[in-house]
Amino acid sequence: MTSVHEQDVVPPGRGLLPDAARIFVAGHRGLVGSALARRLTADGHEVITRGRERLDLRDAARTAAFLRDTRPDAVVLAAAKVGGILANSTYPVEFLEDNLRIQLSVLAGAHAAGVPRLLFLGSSCIYPKLAPQPITEEALLTGPLEPTNEPYALAKIAGIAQVRAYRRQHGAAWISAMPTNLYGPGDNFDLETSHVLPALIRRFHEAERAGADEVLLWGTGTPRREFLHVDDLADACALLLRRYDDDGPVNVGCGEDLTIRELAELVGEVTAYGGRIAFDPSKPDGTPRKLLDITRLATLGWRPKVALREGIASVYQDWLASGRD
Ligand SMILES: NC(=O)c1ccc[n+]([C@@H]2O[C@H](COP(=O)([O-])OP(=O)(O)OC[C@H]3O[C@@H](n4cnc5c(N)ncnc54)[C@H](OP(=O)(O)O)[C@@H]3O)[C@@H](O)[C@H]2O)c1
């Protein structure tokens, strides 16, 4: 039994992740996985990776064998089939089945290999469409989902339930995080499939280069959204791996939102676009507000570090330097 003295001197959560742990980051080439790999390496851990060409995580037998052979101290599951509205509505089968398969392979394989620590990544988009704002973790499964990404959300909710089930049935110290909209280096700038922030950066950059006097954006510009730099997410995940061991998922956001118009103005400034910003109110707006309540994370002492303007500027410079513009 832990003595009172030990409880006093041992920081909460100490021992959940050893120093210089061997951590398998699944999806290490993605926006989230690459940030986690950078951060965990910088923290002195040994990050283990396997590209999809060597290990398709939908393959349960091969994933189990890999985990049995490598026996990591921890697994971070940042591999998923991810996409925007168009991809979700075109390939609902893949969004449901690929994600279920990846989760089943990785979690069952990690359990069979005796992996003591696992972090599963959910998403703010799996909360009910009309959840009260700001969205607390308790809102999960309290109402209908956003229809456009329902298959994806159902798969992710199953992942959260799976983590909880391993905790309850096997006492596993496995946890889930629920990130808000993320952006960062290596983001997807393809206008067909990208999220709103890289899409805006590209639109304004191209307008600036073309000397356009107007950029026309969909909707009214009034919906409010929250954005977190992926390095801040990695920082929060590193903290959760060290310190958090509870049933409920943990929201990871910056705690502040802004309107799409304000976001567009910010991106316009960063990209030195000098023209007008117009909105087409005949096009759909989506949910009026999406902001996570980050009280649970804040009680662990966490605060975001990257201000939105600086974050957007660094992502813009990174994209220009990559020559993909
Ligand atoms: N981006 C966001 O704004 C955001 C917000 C909230 C939550 N999240 C969550 O964070 C996680 C990662 O998202 P992300 O934005 O980093 O996605 P991403 O950039 O598309 O990266 C996903 C990664 O998963 C890998 N992957 C997909 N299917 C695989 C398979 N069958 N076998 C092996 N690897 C596979 C991909 O490999 P390849 O490189 O080979 O394609 C890629 O490296 C997801 O669970 C997502 O729900 C993201």
Q: Is 78 in the pocket of ligand 1 (CB under 6 A)?
A: yes
pLDDT tens, 179-225? 999 999 989 998 878 889 999 999 999 999 999 999 999 999 999 99
| Closest to 216 (Cα-Cα) out of 257, 270, 272, 260 | 260
CA dist 43 → 23, 113, 234 (Å)? 12, 24, 11
How far is 70 from 26, CA to CA, in rounded Å?
13
How far is 320 from 296, CA to CA, in rounded Å?
37
Contact 121, 80 (CB under 8 A): yes
In one-letter notation, the amino acid at residue 70 is: T
- Per-residue pLDDT at 286: 81
28 is in an annotated binding site: yes
Task: Pull the structure tokens for residue 295.
Answer: 């009280």
Task: Pull the structure tokens for residue 192.
Answer: 């067909």
Residue to probe by mutation, ligand 1, list 39, 82, 196, most atoms within 8 Å of CB: 82
- Per-residue pLDDT at 3: 38
124 is in an annotated binding site: yes
Q: Is 129 in the pocket of ligand 1 (CB under 6 A)?
A: no
How far is 235 from 144, CA to CA, in rounded Å?
32
Give the percent of the chain with pLDDT over 90: 88
- Per-residue pLDDT at 86: 83
Peptide bond into 134 cis (omega under 30): yes
Whole-number Å distance, alpha carbon 49 to ligand 1 midpoint, is 14
Q: What is the pTM of this model?
A: 0.94
Q: Which of 152, 166, 183, 244 is catalytic?
A: 152
- Give the residue ranges of DSSP H helices in the chain: 4-9, 31-42, 60-70, 85-90, 92-112, 150-170, 196-210, 230-243, 260-270, 295-298, 308-322
- Per-residue pLDDT at 41: 98
Task: Pull the structure tokens for residue 173.
Answer: 């110290």
Contacts of 277 (CB under 8 A, 6+ apart): 214, 215, 217, 221, 261, 264, 265, 268
How far is 111 from 174, CA to CA, in rounded Å?
10
- Per-residue pLDDT at 8: 38
Q: Is 102 in the pocket of ligand 1 (CB under 6 A)?
A: yes
> What are the φ and ψ backbone dihedral angles of 83, each rounded to 5 degrees?
-175, 175
For residue 52, give the ligand 1 atom closest to its CA.
Answer: 33
Q: Is 121 in the pocket of ligand 1 (CB under 6 A)?
A: yes
- Per-residue pLDDT at 31: 96
Residue to probe by mutation, ligand 1, list 28, 31, 54, 135, most atoms within 8 Å of CB: 31
Under-50 pLDDT residues of the chain: 1-13
319 is in an annotated binding site: no
Q: Is 249 in the pocket of ligand 1 (CB under 6 A)?
A: no
- Per-residue pLDDT at 7: 36
Catalytic annotation present for 183: no
In one-letter notation, the amino acid at residue 186 is: G
- Per-residue pLDDT at 324: 80
